[in-house]
A and B are shown apart, each in its own frame.
Chain A
Amino acid sequence: MNPYKVFNRLIIVFCLLITFSVKSQNFRVENIPSANTKVDSGYSYYEALSLRLYYEQKWDSLLMTGREAIDKGYDYFYMQVRTGAAGYYLGKYALAARYLENAKKLNSSDEFTNELLFMSYLYTGRDNHAALLTGKMPPQRGEMLYRSYIKPSLYLEFGPVITNGRQSAKHYKETDSVNFSEKYADDKAIYSVVGWKQPVNHRLSVNTAISYLDFNKYREDKIRFVDSLTGNYKVSQYEFYLSPSFTINRRWSLSLAGRMTSTRLTEPIVSQDSVVNLYLGNPIAGTWHDFVAGGEVLYSSNYWKLSAGGWYLSINDKKSWQGSASVVLLPRGNLDLYTITTLTYRDRATQPFIFTQRAGTKVYKRSWLEVSGTFGNIAGTTEYNGQLFNNQVNKAEYRLSSLFFADVSSRLRIMVRYQFIRNVSDIYFLDAGYILQKDAYNFNSHTITGGITWFVL
């Protein structure tokens, strides 16, 4: 046999075998379902389920399903919106805001998303971000929400300050009646404030206030062997506060603040003797001006806020500065429970650090109770970005306070505040040998104020 012929035949047979083999492989491939074939995908399942839960308003289940779907990568506008809506209707506004912000990144013009996000911001105390959001909505809708919820407000607060300063200082027997100690200033006083908060536009709002502190007390000085003098000793303080707040974006905002005080002392001492009165001349009077200027930046996340600020203070011509940092936490993602922790540092102080812890909770429907404790000497400091100016002389050891406020209607909020301060006061006196002595004593002050906030439009 010709070896070439044999080889040829072998090749032909081999080729035929290969051809059949290829055909049979084709057959197998066509009939075996591919392992990665996925027809009814997870997307269809989660989409159908979340839509059904949304229509059925099963918010708990929808929230769980939505979070699960997004975790698995089924992250798209409608899933984010439904999950956010579930959080919103469950009252978990911070959680809702998180998903609605994500949805907004995917579709910035959706009216429903914007409105839920707007309300979520309001219900987590982020009015400035809500206002900013309305500026990015279609004009008519944005304007309607802005006018309905971002309102100017008038606030009034009024009440007495009661201390036991004079009683506490009684055991210091002044032997010379011309001496005067702070114990007189630590007596009763009346505090009042009236303020106006005006939103200017979507980014800017201005808070301005005037307050008045009145110490009006009677003091009698007896000058031995000569006369008896009496005077209606009066200290009053006017304060003016101005704070523009600028919202930079949905996370950052900046608030500047300035506060000026004018403290006036008059002591119209009069004698029982008209001739003596003639020689007494004009009443003693004096005016002092203090001020604080500074500002703070605020970063807002959905569950927490962080603020840091610095202020320059001038009190009795003494210049100093102060820095504070605060953390606001919303553990439940709404204002039903919140904590605010503040640490303050002030220069030129023997006790430079002040620690304040506040905690508030919803007590019933639309009413809240807040308690707080401050540890450290607050004298010569400012708080709440200049809204409080502690320009008193007396040092404080600690302060405890409580605040109750309730929204009576959408326009009216009422509040009652009680504040207890443990003070330390210096006293100068002449001892039995007529030698000037200095000592310190503790006394308590109680401030009880009530007020209203009226949302005007």
Chain B
Amino acid sequence: MVRFIALVTAFTLLLLNIAFAQEKPNIVKAFSESYSYENSADYTKAIESIKKVYAADSYEMNLRLGWLYYLAKDYKDSETYYTKAITIMPLSIEARLGYAYPAYALGNKEAVIRKYKEIITVDPYNYYANYRLGALYYEMGDFINAKKHLDKVINYYPFDYDGIIMSAWTNYRLNKLREAKVLFNKALLNRPNDASALEGLSLIK
């Protein structure tokens, strides 16, 4: 009898193992395939790989599809999947950073700004959110707001080239020439002979 019970238990465990084995390898395999296809720039197949095992309530799948659709230049669907990912994980910063890509490509800059501001609410000194928001405001001609965010970047990453050069140009646009000159020179310390920094300095002189 003991042996019978042991056999039934083994049988049940085997069934459970099979059931899990049925899911796990497929999802991992699907993701793995999608990476391979992505590396070979075959985004359509990469999307298909994920879609075969797609579960609407999976954060990772929605996030992945958001990225792949973005690479496939289908920005509307990319935005949709990133939005789903944010809905599933409302505090996700990476999903918001991802969302900004298709939203920007669609021209929806206000939505991009909104998403970066949401990130900053959660993580006030997030490098990407502050830098990109600063750059976006700069592009929109709102140099005061650009400076606000770029100042954070250069305070926390004082030798970051991107932050320094953007901040230098922003100061230049705000006619803060002294600050701009210092920053252009700092940029040259990071990238000697940098064309943008040299151009900025030539304009100040």
Chain A residues within 8 Å of B, Cβ to Cβ: 4, 7-8, 11, 15, 18-19, 22, 25-26, 29-30, 33-34, 36-39, 41-44, 47, 73-74, 76-78, 81, 103, 105-110, 138
- The answer on a CB contact under 8 Å between B108 and A106 is yes
- The answer on a CB contact under 8 Å between B108 and A74 is no
- The answer on a CB contact under 8 Å between B51 and A107 is no
Contacts of A73 in B (CB 8 A): 76
- The answer on a CB contact under 8 Å between A107 and B7 is no
- The answer on a CB contact under 8 Å between B11 and A11 is yes
Supply 15 A–B pairs (Cβ within 8 Å), ascending by A.
A4-B3, A25-B22, A26-B22, A36-B54, A37-B48, A39-B72, A44-B73, A47-B76, A77-B109, A107-B108, A107-B109, A107-B110, A109-B141, A110-B107, A138-B141
Bound complex: CA A22 to CA B22 (Å): 7
Contacts of B106 in A (CB 8 A): 76-78, 106
Q: B15's contact among A4, A18, A43, A78, by CB below 8 Å, is which?
A: A18
Question: Which residues B123-148 have CB closer than 8 A to chain A?
Answer: 139-142
B67-108 CB mask vs A (1 if < 8 Å, else 0) is 000001111110100000000000000000000000000111
**Residues A29 and B44 in contact in the complex (CB < 8 Å), given A8-B7, A76-B107, A109-B141:** no
**Residues A109 and B109 in contact in the complex (CB < 8 Å), given A18-B18, A41-B74, A138-B141:** yes
Contacts of A7 in B (CB 8 A): 4, 7
Bound complex: CA A42 to CA B69 (Å): 13
Bound complex: CA A32 to CA B122 (Å): 43
- The answer on a CB contact under 8 Å between A15 and B4 is no
- The answer on a CB contact under 8 Å between B74 and A76 is no
Contacts of B4 in A (CB 8 A): 4, 7
Contacts of B14 in A (CB 8 A): 15
- The answer on a CB contact under 8 Å between B77 and A22 is no
Cβ of B182 under 8 Å from chain A: no
Interface secondary structure of B, over-half rule: helix
Bound complex: CA A41 to CA B78 (Å): 11
B-side interface size class: 20 to 34
Known: A39-B47, A47-B75, A106-B108. 16 other contacts (CB 8 A): A7-B4, A25-B22, A29-B52, A34-B54, A37-B51, A39-B72, A41-B74, A44-B73, A76-B76, A76-B79, A77-B106, A77-B108, A106-B106, A107-B110, A108-B109, A109-B109
- The answer on a CB contact under 8 Å between B107 and A109 is no
Contacts of B74 in A (CB 8 A): 41, 43-44
B1-35 CB mask vs A (1 if < 8 Å, else 0) is 00110010011001100100110001000000000
| Min CB gap B14→A, angstroms | 6
Among A37, A41, A43, find the residue whose CB has the most chain B CB atoms closer than 10 A: A43
- The answer on a CB contact under 8 Å between A109 and B18 is no
| Min CB gap B73→A, angstroms | 7
- The answer on a CB contact under 8 Å between A43 and B75 is yes
- The answer on a CB contact under 8 Å between B51 and A77 is no
Bound complex: CA A25 to CA B23 (Å): 11
Bound complex: CA A8 to CA B7 (Å): 8
Bound complex: CA A22 to CA B51 (Å): 20
Residue of B at shortest CB range from A7? B7
Residue of A at shortest CB range from B8? A11
Bound complex: CA A22 to CA B19 (Å): 9
Bound complex: CA A39 to CA B71 (Å): 12
- The answer on a CB contact under 8 Å between A33 and B140 is no
Contacts of B107 in A (CB 8 A): 76-78, 81, 103, 106-107, 110
Contacts of A81 in B (CB 8 A): 107
Q: A34's contact among B51, B73, B77, B79, by CB below 8 Å, is which?
A: B51
Bound complex: CA A103 to CA B44 (Å): 30
Contacts of B111 in A (CB 8 A): 106
Residue of A at shortest CB range from B33? A30
Bound complex: CA A76 to CA B80 (Å): 12
Contacts of A47 in B (CB 8 A): 75-76
Bound complex: CA A377 to CA B100 (Å): 63
| Min CB gap B196→A, angstroms | 22
Contacts of A29 in B (CB 8 A): 26, 52
Bound complex: CA A90 to CA B139 (Å): 31
Bound complex: CA A156 to CA B179 (Å): 55
Residue of B at shortest CB range from A4? B3
Contacts of B11 in A (CB 8 A): 11, 15
Residue of A at shortest CB range from B79? A76
